[in-house]
Chains A and B, each alone.
Chain A
Amino acid sequence: MASAAVALDRAPVLRTEKLSKTYRTGTVEVRALVDVDFAAMPGEFVVILGPSGSGKSTFLNLVGGLDQASSGKAWFQEHELTALAERGLTRYRRDHVGFIFQFYNLVPSLTAMENVQLVTDIARNPMPAADALAMVGLSDRMKHFPAELSGGEQQRVAIARAIAKRPELLLCDEPTGALDSKTGVMVLEALATVNAELGATTLVITHNAAIREIADRVVHFGNGRIVREERNAVRKPVSSVSW
């Protein structure tokens, strides 16, 4: 498949250095993330694999500005994320990051179109909401409320909402976790299209090892650390994947 040009010669979009997160509940300490060094290049499509509790979601939350690190540093382009306060992180999410979750997290009282408009209302340089929906193949479902859409359609609305701001970074946490294989493939197609057309660096967390072949790079998490990385010489087209 036509891959987005991964600009390996340019500065990374996202970089971390000894990024760590420790949760404390009473006297119990859980080290969810331990000294993670990571970098992602512009346009790169990275799949993150690992068992439950391996630290992959914690990692995504930290680089997405949803949570604060306990130690270590993270940069988005030249901005140090770990130095930002609440307000700065909000700004970062608003302007640069698109999120996609397992359970879609659409606003049930807004139509597909309005869910996307939520983002275009506040983003700095958004694309028209209708264009975002067209990109994920939902032009004919724009007026529908989430309850009137299938799971796959809902997840595609979530993708449209995430990309409408033209994000530099697209973070997906188990985007196909709640979907069957056929629907999941459609969602992955949408993600791959967005990655190719917008050049957004895409990080996809999954349990699903079948997805690894569509990525530029696969990162394996275990016990809060990156245990292994592999790079695919060729990205397989999404249509060849199934589970």
Chain B
Amino acid sequence: MRALDRKLLRDLRRLWAQVLAIALVMAAGAATLILGIGAYDSLFQTRERYYIDNRFADIFANVTRAPLHIARDIAAIDGVRTVETRIVKLALADVRGMAEPGSVQIVSLSETGEQKLNALSLVNGRLPSSGTSLEAVANADFAKAHKLVPGDKITVLLNGRKTVIRVTGTALSPEFIYVLGPGDLMPDPRRFGVLWMRVDALAAAYGLEGAFSEISVKLDAGMPQEPVISEIDKRLRRFGGTGAHGRKDQVSHAFLDAELEQLRAMSRVLPPIFLVVSAFLVNMTLLRMITLEREQIGLLKATGYSSRSIAWHYIKFALVVAAAGVIIGAIAGTWLGHGMAQLYARFFSFPYLVFSRDPSIYAIAAIITLAAAAVGALRAVSSVVFLPPAVAMSPPAPARYRQWLPVDWRMPRIMDTRAILVSRHLLHWPWRLASGVAGMALACAILVGSLWSMGSLEKVIDITFYKSDRQDASIQFTTKRPISALHDLRGFPGILRAEPYRAVPVRLRNGTAERRVALMGRPADADLSRLLDTGLNKVALPTHGLVLSDALASILGVRVGESVQVEFIEDSRKVELVPVSGIVNGYLGLSAMMDLTALNRLAREQAVISGVNLKIDPTRTEALFDRLKQTPVANFIVLQKTALKRFRETLAQNITIMVTVYAGLAAIVAFGVVYNFARISLSEQARELASLRVLGFSRGEVSGVLLTELAVVVALAQPLGWLTGYGFAWLMVQGFSSDLYRVPLVVERGVYAYSSLIVIAAAVVSAFIVRRRIDTFDLIAVLKTRD
């Protein structure tokens, strides 16, 4: 081994604590990169493979009732490869042990058992026997939530008739990776499930013999969907078609997409920050190391080593540290990525998980980390290595300090000499002070950037459930019903207030921008479900015109006073130009609202409603639930409080895990930065501090000088960290936003406080370590050395 390499090894060993701190910060960067991209890739690939294996359809369309031969027409459309017709119905279910009514989506299976599209993956049991037997396969989560095993029975209101169905098995489907009930915010496997029954049994129950209510279509590879969708719409219009749509409007697919987008946002914002911080640290540490080794460098050059070979020696030091970081980061990132993918897999229903082990991710992580280290090293190296050997061998000129303020010692002294010492030391090296502050600010910022989301969610919950949608429950009717249905419901037990709503599927269009949404009609004086303007004040629904949520308005690019084309997808297919009369706040989904009467008038319908929002007397909920379970009018009931609980649980679980991982990594960064800063400060001031000890200062007083300096840097870093963290949160909010939900940028004071506390805790730990070093100073050795 060459002597320089041996020196490298010894240096690494001597500086092991600082080396480890930097390597850990780099590992955090590499890990977030591998974790973020790895989890994203794993999920993406799992979904792709699942879609291919189980032949997930490209286009979906619902009709009221269409004869089977229409399917042949659709199969003949150019670009269509496979077509499958089904009966799909939503029904109330009464499951043993559950007070509130649940709902099931019932999907037909062909009599032959052949599943051309959206094939099931049977988890256990068997498919229902053919014919009209009342058997069904349940989706795995629903079965698990109710401990259903093959042979168990559940009662379902099939077309208004109480029907006992025997469960023959459990299964997963690519259509229901994310099993969300209509109007629900989070999958709730207790309250919503999917049952697959033989088509004959379903057709008999719903009087749909020789007909279908849903059609799925697979396209030839590379075939654009738009022309096919419009062809399908043409053929289905007269059968009550509600408009065909592609995967992007398929609930499960859309939610998974939004989730993947979030993961990607995380993996794009955080790793670069970690890597910048680690480059910083390498730079700070090497700069100090090289300054201390200035004379050695001079000596090496005097003996004939070239500037290049010496520079390479120090760069190698940085690269070895980075390599250690990459290795630790790769292991941690793979492990965490595995964990996160599994977490998602639990949340989503996948039959298997494809773990992405794309070597290119590791290569990217390694290259970026090594490059960050090399950049940090180069700057440090260039300061000394290119000095002529004679200059390098002589000690650097003593630091020239200057008075920042005119001082006259006849005036009373306002500062203790030690305070002067600290302030001069800090101000003398503004670059070092700035980089220390910046490094710690980044650590604090990463924490703010990781922790903020909890507060934002609370805001979403508060606005959505307590200020806007304040109803206890929403009942969705099986079909639209006259307004008199509202009066019938008012007679049910425990209902304190009932407000009707009408939901009409429409396509809103402005120029090329268009979105498919449910246009909601509600009474102008609705008080349970209220509209809030963007300033969160309650606003009344205008008697005419459309009110759009801010997100939808921005997607469509319209402002109040401008008009939007409204295309009714059901029945009439009427297209109307309607002015936008208001823009309101909305975090979940994209919403468009109108006055109920105005909507029915626009749709040229009588006074009809789709459902009712309810305020319920909490002491009489059971009586109400019992009554609703018997009622054939509703097919789905949203219970806001249950939805909220579920929303909290699910998000809290996911976010807590994510936040813990990122906050843990950020804490490592905080520690790495603070510890390195403290160690460098100590090495720079060792001699002065030892002098103070000789002069009779106690260990505590001497440590106080260094720790005060550290405290000042930590304190200065906090406001900057909060500000930068807010910026990171803003960046992530941009990445999080999707059609399904938007996250308001709310960074609560607690987030700043927690972030700062973690940084301060890291500083305290570093301070303790440094303090121990000061306590064990070899006073004599320090004083004998020349500066």
Interface positions of A (Cβ within 8 A of B): 57, 61, 64, 66-67, 86-87, 90-95, 97, 99, 101, 103, 105-111, 113-114, 117-119, 121-123, 129-130, 142-143, 145-148, 161, 165
Partner of A99, one of B399, B416, B694, B699: B694
Contact B417 A147 (CB under 8 A): no
How many angstroms between the C-alpha atoms of A170 and B121 in the bound complex? 91
The answer to the question of B571 belonging to the interface, with a C-beta cut-off of 8 Å to chain A, is: no
Complex: how many Å from CA A110 to CA B656?
Answer: 50
Using an 8 Å CB-CB cutoff, how does the interface string of B692-704 with A read, 1 for contact, 0 for none?
1111111101000
Interface size on B, residues (CB 8 A): 36
Q: Which of B134-142, B154-162, B401-409 contacts A (4 or more CB under 8 A)?
A: B401-409
Residues 684 to 741 of chain B near chain A (Cβ within 8 Å): 687-688, 691-699, 701
Please give, as numbers and ranges, the residues of chain B lying within 8 Å of A67 by CB-CB distance.
779-780
Instruction: Indicate which residue in B420, B688, B695 contacts A161 across the interface (CB closer than 8 Å).
Output: B695
Partner of B424, one of A93, A105, A110: A110
For residue B418, CB closer than 8 A to chain A, the reply is yes
Residue pair A118, B401 in contact (C-beta under 8 Å): no
- Does B425 interact with chain A (Cβ within 8 Å)? yes
A-chain residues with CB within 8 Å of residue B699 when the two chains form the complex: 86, 90
Contact present for A121 and B416 (CB under 8 Å): yes
Known contacts A66-B779, A108-B688; A145 and B401 CB within 8 A of each other: yes
One of A90, A91, A119, A147 near B401 (C-beta < 8 A): A147
**Quick check: B697 and A122 within 8 Å, CB to CB?**
yes
A93–B694 Cα distance when bound, in Å, is 7
Q: C-beta contact mask, B372-412 vs A, less than 8 Å → 1, else 0?
A: 00000000000000000000000001111111000101000
Closest residue of chain B to A61, judged by CB? B780
**Given A66-B780, A109-B421, A114-B420: A119 in contact with B400 (beta carbons within 8 A):** no
| Cα–Cα distance between A110 and B695 once the two chains are bound (Å) | 15
Nearest Cβ distance between residue B624 and chain A, in whole angstroms?
A: 76
A109-B428 in contact (CB<8A):
yes
Given contacts A121-B418, A122-B701, A130-B409, contact A109 B399 (CB under 8 A): yes
Would you call B697 and A147 a contact (CB within 8 A)? no
State which of A110, A122, A161 has its C-beta within 8 Å of the C-beta of B421.
A110
Closest to A171 in B: B694
A122 touches B696 (CB 8 A): yes
Closest to A128 in B: B409
Residues of chain A contacted by B398 (CB below 8 angstroms): 108, 146-147
A99 touches B401 (CB 8 A): no
Docked CA distance A88–B687 (Å): 22
Nearest-Cβ distance from residue B698 to partner chain A, whole angstroms:
5
Asked if B76 is an interface residue, CB under 8 A from chain A, the answer is no
Q: Do residues B696 and A123 form an inter-chain contact, with CB atoms below 8 A?
A: yes
Contacts of B696 in A (CB 8 A): 90-95, 97, 119, 122-123, 165
Contact B694–A87 (Cβ < 8 Å): no
What would 15 A/B residue contacts be, using CB atoms closer than 8 Å? Answer: A61-B780, A66-B694, A92-B696, A93-B695, A105-B691, A107-B421, A107-B691, A107-B692, A108-B399, A110-B401, A114-B417, A117-B417, A145-B401, A147-B401, A161-B695
Please, which residue of chain B has its CB at the minimum distance from the CB of A111? B403
A103 and B787: CB pair below 8 A?
A: yes
Measured between alpha carbons, how far is A112 from B498 in the docked complex, in Å?
A: 85
A118-B695 in contact (CB<8A): yes
For the A-B complex with A108-B688, A109-B399, A122-B695 known, give 12 more contacts whose Cβ atoms are closer than 8 Å: A57-B780, A94-B696, A94-B697, A105-B687, A107-B688, A107-B692, A108-B401, A110-B421, A119-B695, A122-B696, A145-B400, A147-B400
